Amino acid sequence: MNVLILGAGGREYSIGLALSKDENVEKIYFAPGNGGTDTLGENLSISDFSELADFVEKNAVDLTIVGPEGPLVDGIVDVFEARGLTIFGPSAKAAQLEGSKIFMKNFLARHNVPTAKYIETNSLQDAYTFIEKLDVPIVVKADGLCGGKGVIIAQSKEEAKKAAGEMLSGNSFGDAGTSIVVEEFLDGYELSVFAICDGNDYIVLPAAQDHKRLLNNDKGPNTGGMGAYAPTPLVNDEIYKKLDERVIVPTLEGMKAEGMPFKGVLFIGVMVVKGEPIILEYNVRFGDPECEELMPLLKSPASELFYKAATADLKSAKIEFYDKYAVGVVMASRDYPYKSSAPAEIIIDDIYHEELNENAHISYAGVTRGDEGKLYATGGRVLVCVGIGDSIKEAQRHAYMLVGQIHYAGKQCRTDIAYQVL
Ligand SMILES: Nc1ncnc2c1ncn2[C@@H]1O[C@H](COP(=O)(O)OP(=O)(O)O)[C@@H](O)[C@H]1O
Ligand SMILES: [Mg+2]
């Protein structure tokens, strides 16, 4: 089959890499892709949904996979499905689970899915009253999509009130912040759990842990994610069972009952508090960098997982994972996440070490290919070094061996990915 992947990050590269090893897949297109995806397939510079659908029809693309949330919230799935095209991702209505934190919180409340105590409001007075009732820290969230920057964890009531005021006035996040959620702080450890859904059935992938902060030991500012590993031993069968019964089943049943069956990746942001999984949020697509670790753990053909999910046929899928671990280390550019950095040429040493060649690879993200074929670091998160191993420690060693082979001016990465479990 021929596949189109929408997006430009390491997430989309890793999906493409998995599909490129799948003998059922002939041709892979990326829109827009990046300077690395051009070795896996063909990059397209089309972004208009109707033009993309035209391309899919003309070029016999059998399946479109949407990487990022933006096009999902903007309704690309609805446009494709109205034209009878097969696409993996939720409808615009279902994508509100990510597109609006208020929608998500109210949905969780309606269906008794455990989540932090909250109010949603557009009134500063109501926000103040609720803030007075909570213990610190207090969490204030803008309603709409803010590229991972719309959440403030306030260490005092004054700070929480200030954050609420700045969001509601439209000063911090424009329209995305004109309604807010104020909620209690949950103290525990965080997991990323992914369920691939087809509207009726679902498959839960191995749970992962992300590293949001820029610096080792979770210090420094928040980022899009500096590394991840999977599966995490912090999840046991009991937690998976609770997630199934209390979270995934009621969510998928609820979405169906409310007339917006969920198809695509349900990304469950979980805080485990005293052994109980509490839901922080939903996203409606893969996490980046979690996807980069999950794709190489997939033993079954990637096309089977995505095509069957897109065509409501997961029931007939037999999806298997390798009994291995993956660790991904994000290499970022010099001024990430503060500002963009000058393009820097990337030099990758030839790797003669067989252990490394077999157990580590790069997932390219913020890279551009120059006219002479050279690669340049041009984005904030440049690439992800993914190591595979029989233990997390071995996978981590492979990932960092690969990091050592990659050079560009200003490269930065954390040196402690997976520290939580080592
Ligand atoms: N109620 C909460 N208690 C503790 N930490 C929280 C809470 N809500 C969010 N966080 C932290 O803030 C991060 C971002 O919040 P999240 O709801 O995932 O929003 P987004 O990913 O859209 O920015 C989470 O990954 C988590 O680390
Ligand atoms: Mg989040």
Supply the pLDDT for residue 176: 94
Ligand 1 atom at minimal distance to the Cα of residue 149: 23
**Nearest CA owner, ligand 1 atom 21:** 148
Supply the pLDDT for residue 147: 87
For ligand 2, the distance from its centroid to the CA atom of residue 217, given in whole angstroms, is 19
Supply the pLDDT for residue 357: 94
Supply the pLDDT for residue 148: 85
Global confidence as pTM? 0.97
Domains of the chain: 2-91 (3.40.50.20), 117-184 (3.30.1490.20), 190-316 (3.30.470.20), 325-421 (3.90.600.10)
SS3 141: strand
Strand runs (DSSP E) across 257-350, as ranges? Answer: 263-273, 276-283, 325-332, 344-345, 347-348
Q: Which ligand is nearest to the CA of 213?
A: 1
SS3 59: coil
Q: What count of other Cβ atoms lies within 10 Å of the Cβ of residue 330?
A: 30
SS3 341: coil
**Nearest CA owner, ligand 1 atom 12:** 151
Mutate which of 140, 214, 274, 281 to test ligand 1's pocket (most atoms within 8 Å of Cβ)?
281
Supply the pLDDT for residue 115: 98
Q: Are 306 and 14 in contact (CB under 8 A)?
A: no
Q: Does ligand 1 come within 6 angstroms of the Cβ of 280?
A: yes
- The parts of the chain modelled with pLDDT lower than 50 are none
Q: Are 208 and 273 in contact (CB under 8 A)?
A: no
Q: Are 164 and 124 in contact (CB under 8 A)?
A: yes
**Nearest CA owner, ligand 1 atom 23:** 148
Supply the pLDDT for residue 236: 95
Q: Does ligand 1 come within 6 angstroms of the Cβ of 186?
A: yes
Q: Are 120 and 147 in contact (CB under 8 A)?
A: no
**Nearest CA owner, ligand 1 atom 24:** 280
Distance in angstroms (rounded) separating the CA atoms of residues 418 and 108: 30
Question: Which residues are found with C-beta within 5 Å of the ion, ligand 2?
Answer: 269
Supply the pLDDT for residue 342: 96
CA 158 to chain centroid, in Å, comes to: 32
Distance in angstroms (rounded) separating the CA atoms of residues 156 and 151: 15
**Nearest CA owner, ligand 1 atom 14:** 151
**Nearest CA owner, ligand 1 atom 20:** 148
Mutate which of 136, 149, 151, 279 to test ligand 1's pocket (most atoms within 8 Å of Cβ)?
151
Ligand 1 atom at minimal distance to the Cα of residue 187: 4
**Nearest CA owner, ligand 1 atom 18:** 281
Strand runs (DSSP E) across 302-380, as ranges? Answer: 325-332, 344-345, 347-348, 360-364, 367-369, 375-377
Q: Does ligand 1 come within 6 angstroms of the Cβ of 116?
A: yes
User: How confident is the model over 263-316, as pLDDT tens digits?
Assistant: 999 999 999 999 999 999 999 999 999 999 999 999 999 999 999 999 999 999
Q: Are 187 and 212 in contact (CB under 8 A)?
A: no
Q: Does ligand 1 come within 6 angstroms of the Cβ of 151?
A: yes
**Tokens 């829109």, residue located:** 31
